[in-house]
Structure 1
Amino acid sequence: MYVDPPAPQPRQPGETPPSTGSGALDGQPRAWEFNPEYQRLVSAWQAVLPLLDTLTTSLDKGYQMGKDARTWDAPVGARYVGEIAEWRTRLGLYRQAVLTSISDVAADTPRWIPRATGAPHAFS
């Protein structure tokens, strides 16, 4: 069994952005917005996890039924159970790879980004 990596956390009610900017304008108020790229990672995690859980549950159910002597009492039953066990292992590795990649990208993506304030720019 694999342990899932940490999930990207959605914006919590009452969560506030950083209070001050950094760099040349230290201490100056800045407009922030929740990063839409980070939100996409949260949405991807929330979409993928139930599907992976459904697949895992389906394979586990078939595996348990196949192991029961009342279900299949023939040499081919052992081969069938072995194939399901192999698919369970592959699904576990796939789950780990998908969730780890989402988690790694989320760890490198800032939750809050500076918002464009609408200041006039030359040639806009």
Structure 2
Amino acid sequence: MKRESINARNAPNPHGGYSQAVKLEGFERLLLVSGQIPVSDDDKVPEGFEAQARLVWRNIDAQLKAAGMAKSDIVKVTMYLSDRQHATANREIRNEYLGSLAPALTVVVCQIFDERWLLEVEAVAAQ
């Protein structure tokens, strides 16, 4: 698969580890990961944004592995935050998980289904 980050010169420059667009050619598999929530496999919700964010990324990782994929295959992420105050911690934890990977990215501040959840994250992966 050929993957190319697209960041048009006549549009805003991305800041914070993402691409304005990601162009894919020659992929064979596409995985759409539903919004992953901060709930553990034993149905517990941790306290605090950082613990919840790390759990959400672990849940995404679990879905990727179950499909025979890895985080390096992620091409698009949509993040839903319950409060704008989590923006900095969200970016730091996302960058910690993704490293140098720069997928297309959208962050939305909104109400989330369960008031205990401080975020929900969906992803698209391709190979």
User: Structures share a fold, TM > 0.5?
Assistant: no
Give the number of the structure with larger relative contact order, counting CA–CA contacts within 8 Å between residues 6 or more apart: 1
TM-score, normalised to structure 2's length? 0.22
* Higher helix content, 1 or 2: 1
Which structure shows the bigger proportion of residues in strand conformation?
A: 2
